[in-house]
Amino acid sequence: MNKYFNYLFSIPSALFLMFVFAIAIGVATFIENDYGTIAAKALIFNNWWLELCLFLLTAIFIYNIFIYKLYHVRKLPVLFLHLSFILIIVGAAITRYTGSEGMMRIREGNLNNQFVSSTTFLTFKVHNNQTQYMVDKPLLLSSISNNKFSIPNYFGKTIKIDNKKIKVEYLNFIQDPIDQILENQKDGYDVLELVVPAKSGGMQSEYIAVNKSKEINDLLVSFNANLLVSKDVGESNADFLISKLDSSFYFTSIYDVEYMRMSDQSKGVLEKQTRHLLNAKTLYTINGKNMVFKNYFNNSIITKSTSSIKNDDNTSDLLKIKLIVADRDTIIDLYGTRGLISPKSYFTFNDLFFSFSYGSKNYSLPFAIFLKDFQLERYPGSNSPSSFASEVEVIDGEEKMDYRIFMNNVLNYRGYRFFQSSYDDDEKGTILSVNKDRAGTIFTYIGYLSLLLSVISVLVSRFSRFNLLNKNIKKES
């Protein structure tokens, strides 16, 4: 046993662990570049084996301080070097487990005392009007990591209400999901393909199933939903109702509809609340929104697939989970992403009341920040921004403090640090990066100081190898 202990805390073990750590950080850099920050965190930075590696390195450094008696004056440079590594790793651990970070948006002339977390959570609540259970589970989900989880986990306490066991299981995670058509399916149904402008530019396809409604390009579009038997006029709460009669498609809109046929460029206006023939290769403009009927599929199924390798924080992801209550289960689709507060999904299942949401959550500050003015400067003769800054007022009860936040000028107040991150598209609002990690920062800075003392002591200590070589050179000369 003593043999294994000595080997574990030996210098070769430390060198091996440092080599593993260096390789891991290098690989994480490539993962972050190709798949995003969340994937790098899930696979490497927040993984248990990297934490074990750092824990063992810290233990070896502490062990070597005593086994080699580095606390003697003649060994101070090596002592400071070991202490610097220990303090930096401890600071990183404090940051990892106690720190919080996120983003704060403030519009000019408004104040805010909340910021949105950079971590995503699965928020789950169940009750029966008497007993309630609630959990916020932090998640790091990506397209290339093992995302499996359950509530409760293998070691967790069983959730039971009205003598019914409740469990939540992970099924699938699809980042930046888009609709995909599977044709010629046994349990398929009718599907329409409509083409609308994409938010990122260009055009994109949207699919809508029969007897369903869907918001497309800020319009509520229905396909045979709430259709009356009459062949003259359909009735629906939709902005644009599409119906299939015999082998043709028709539409009714609550707005007058402009059209332009692509074949001959002919134009016209179709009266609202009247059924009209829906033609392919015709551009329809409904309340300023463009739409083209492209295709029709029968015996098909709409599924979700990822649209990109690297996750886009501006697009909601899809988390599919299974809810099991006693001997019944149901599948739940939750949409959300980092930096977005997703609305909760409320429903009743097996005589219990549930709410679920996936995404970031709000953290409250013990003070508020008022944005007096957002300032943006551009390079001469160009629209490219050269710098931007936020003139803010910190309001903490009766105390008020003016401050200017810009690049490399950070607002540090009551343990919170505010960095100028970005701004709103209309340039009338600021986006601040928020970080709370006073303890971790202090430990890390002390570690940097210890590293500096190690370098200085190597130069000034009369016992260091540097000074011994210097003396030998002087003797020979």
Distance, in Å, from the CA atom of 44 to the CA atom of 137, rounded to the nearest integer, reads 20
Distance, in Å, from the CA atom of 18 to the CA atom of 25, rounded to the nearest integer, reads 11
Residue 41: pLDDT over 70: yes
Enumerate the domain spans of the chain. Answer: 2-99+439-476, 102-115+363-436, 119-176+307-359, 178-305
**Per-residue pLDDT reduced to its tens digit, 91-106:** 999 999 999 999 999 9
Q: How confident is the model at residue 477 (pLDDT cuts 50, 70, 90)?
A: low
The pLDDT of 8-17, averaged and rounded, is 92
Residue 432: pLDDT over 90: yes
Report the run of H or E that residue 122 belongs to, with start and end.
Answer: strand 120-127
| pLDDT of res. 229 | 36
Residue 475: pLDDT over 80: no
CA distances to 220, 366, 451 from 121, rounded to whole Å, are 29, 22, 37
| pLDDT of res. 260 | 95
Residue 232: pLDDT over 60: no
| Pair 57, 51: CB distance under 8 Å | no
Residue 373: pLDDT over 90: yes
Residue 155: pLDDT over 80: no
Question: Could you write out the DSSP letters of every residue in 16-66?
Answer: HHHHHHHHHHHHHHHHHHHH-HHHHIIIIIT-HHHHHHHHHHHHHHHHHHH
| pLDDT of res. 201 | 77
| Pair 210, 224: CB distance under 8 Å | yes
Count CB atoms within 10 A of the CB of residue 265.
7
The pLDDT of 218-230, averaged and rounded, is 70
Label residue 248 left, alpha or beta by phi (over 0 means left) and psi (-120 to 50 means alpha). Answer: beta
| pLDDT of res. 466 | 65
Structure tokens at 229: 């038997």
Distance, in Å, from the CA atom of 448 to the CA atom of 443, rounded to the nearest integer, reads 9
**Per-residue pLDDT reduced to its tens digit, 328-353:** 999 999 999 999 898 999 999 999 99
Residue 469: pLDDT over 90: no
Angle 76-98/438-460 helices, nearest 10 degrees? 170
DSSP 280: B
| pLDDT of res. 183 | 92
Distance, in Å, from the CA atom of 205 to the CA atom of 246, rounded to the nearest integer, reads 25
CA neighbor of 111 nearest in space, from 393, 306, 308: 393
| Pair 300, 185: CB distance under 8 Å | yes
Q: Give me the residue label for tokens 């248990």.
A: 48
**Per-residue pLDDT reduced to its tens digit, 178-194:** 888 999 998 899 999 99
The angle subtended at Cα 228 by Cα 225 and Cα 233, nearest 5°, is 105
Q: How confident is the model at residue 202 (pLDDT cuts 50, 70, 90)?
A: confident
Q: How confident is the model at residue 454 (pLDDT cuts 50, 70, 90)?
A: very high
Scored b (16 or more CB within 10 A) or e, 44-72 reads bbebeebeebbebbbebbebbbeeeebee
| pLDDT of res. 233 | 42
Distance, in Å, from the CA atom of 182 to the CA atom of 191, rounded to the nearest integer, reads 10
Number of H helices, E strands in the chain: 7, 29
Strand duo 411-413 + 150-151: pairing:
unpaired
Distance, in Å, from the CA atom of 217 to the CA atom of 135, rounded to the nearest integer, reads 35
Count CB atoms within 10 A of the CB of residue 156.
11
Question: Could you write out the DSSP letters of every residue in 289-331?
Answer: EEEEEEEEEEEEEEEEEE--SSPPTTS-EEEEEEEEETTEEEE
Residue 231: pLDDT over 60: no
Structure tokens at 323: 């809810």
The angle subtended at Cα 119 by Cα 153 and Cα 175, nearest 5°, is 85
Sheet holding 248-253, edge to edge: 212-216, 219-223, 240-245, 248-253, 276-277
CA distances to 26, 40, 45, 144, 310 from 32, rounded to whole Å, are 10, 5, 10, 12, 9
Omega prior to 343 cis, within 30 of 0: no
Q: Return the CATH number of 178-305, one of 1.20.140, 3.30.1490, 2.60.200, 1.10.287.
A: 2.60.200
| pLDDT of res. 226 | 56
Sheet holding 345-349, edge to edge: 132-139, 120-127, 352-359, 345-349
Q: How confident is the model at residue 372 (pLDDT cuts 50, 70, 90)?
A: very high
| pLDDT of res. 238 | 81
**Per-residue pLDDT reduced to its tens digit, 405-425:** 998 899 999 999 999 999 998
| pLDDT of res. 234 | 43
| pLDDT of res. 228 | 40
| Pair 366, 414: CB distance under 8 Å | yes
Structure tokens at 355: 């709410």
Structure tokens at 86: 């220990």
Distance, in Å, from the CA atom of 278 to the CA atom of 191, rounded to the nearest integer, reads 15
Q: How far apart are the first and last CA of the chain?
A: 53
Question: Could you write out the DSSP letters of every residue in 150-164?
Answer: EES-TTSPPEEETTE
The pLDDT of 150-155, averaged and rounded, is 85
Residue 359: pLDDT over 90: yes
